[in-house]
Amino acid sequence: MDSNRIRAERHNTASVGLVTDQLGSGIKCCEVALASGSASVWERKIKHAQKAHDTALRFVHRFNLSEHEAQRISQRITHLKTLLEELK
């Protein structure tokens, strides 16, 4: 039983890490787009950031998050959404 619980916890941790990485990537793309003078870079980075935002929203509700993790991810989602709104 303990091995199943440990395996589930590891999967949950890895999955939360995936969502966190997606959000970080999306935030970085927005920062690059804001600093870029190129329309093609702008469009490409916004598209990637939007995809990262959508992916995070789609998967975040599937995990058992601690209060701290949930708050941290929620803040990053809000930050990314704010950056995307600035770019539109």
SS3 content of the chain, % helix, strand, coil (to 5): 90, 0, 10
Confidence of residue 62 (pLDDT cuts 50, 70, 90): confident
Looking at residue 37, its pLDDT comes to 87
Beta-carbon contacts of residue 26 (< 8 Å; ≥ 6 apart) = 48, 49, 50, 51, 52, 53, 56, 80, 84
Mean pLDDT of 57-74: 84
Encode pLDDT of 5-16 as tens digits: 655 555 555 667
Q: Look at 55 and 15; give whichever has higher pLDDT.
A: 55
Global pTM value:
0.82
Rounded Cα distance, 42 and 35, in Å: 9
CA atoms within 13 A on the CB side of 6: 3
Counts of helices then strands in the chain (DSSP H, E): 3, 0
Looking at residue 74, its pLDDT comes to 92
